[in-house]
Copies of this chain bind each other. A is one copy, B any other.
């Protein structure tokens, strides 16, 4: 019943506001013996980090993570931390808060933001940088996801942008190697899209505007059998996890919304016995999940991120006193928050899979 926890056996509880002294999380349920390095956590965090290109917020946060509990150093390699099975506390200091940027919005309800809903719900609100609803919280998801990836042997979870604004990539050009290229600030797998996105987003910024994006996450080497029918479907938990990311408005698995227009004869992924004697699917319309349970095929999830709501163009709104106003949101905002959502989406998928891996083991004793 937690409002700040994701997962059931692999539980990530986050805390912290954008402009407080620090943010952090507690990972409860990491199995004893899981090994990881601080470098591995930091590498994932660096992928999400603000300030890495002109297309993301210019807030300067080193996002250096520290591990405060739940691990022992490996006796032979002190860089390696071994989970003890007790809670792993992670923490990141906030460095570049600049709360003065936010002074004028203390009483304003920014359109597209949760300001009004917050005030109705809580009666008071930490307006600085969006408080708890700031995307800074997602840094902890990324760090937790780095540990989650270690739990399922062989698991590989990768994400990519497939659309920014109204510009979609050409899937025929898909190359995972492109995604992490240092000259690619967009996590796009289509090298040809890089200059298109650059030109497009420069114009968006000049227009004092913003756009949304669609991200695709692919998880490979997911064992068949994870999940359950009904309310513990692995795709249901992935949907909840992705929808819990700031600004996400839609989630789909496999062919998703497009499957509505398919016929049953097209949609059913036929099965054969592969050359290695193991079952293979001849297609993956299902996105690796049938009846809520992983099939062993790659899990494919997509999610849509709405345009950044903080824009320099004035919008009509009201304030706490019920006065009609115009709002301009200053500050250092991403023209497309969807870009930095790529590693976050990966993390949520990794956490959901790790959680179901442990649940499956508990329920059935298998794996």
Contacts and interface: CB of A to CB of B under 8 A. Distances in A.
Interface string A216-240: 0000000011111111110111011
Contact of A235 (B8, B133, B243): B243
Given A233-B243, A243-B235, A212 B260 contact: yes
A338 B261 CA distance: 11
B249 A293 contact: no
Interface residues of A, number: 153
Interface stretch (A118-126, A169-177, A186-194): A118-126
Q: Which 7 A-B pairs have the closest CB atoms?
A: A114-B291, A362-B362, A250-B252, A210-B264, A112-B268, A111-B268, A117-B293
Contact of A212 (B85, B262, B316): B262
A339 interface: no
A214 interface: yes
B233 A244 contact: yes
A254 to B, nearest CB: 6
A236 B243 contact: yes
A17 B86 contact: yes
Nearest to A27: B15
Interface in A290-315: 290-296, 304-311, 313, 315
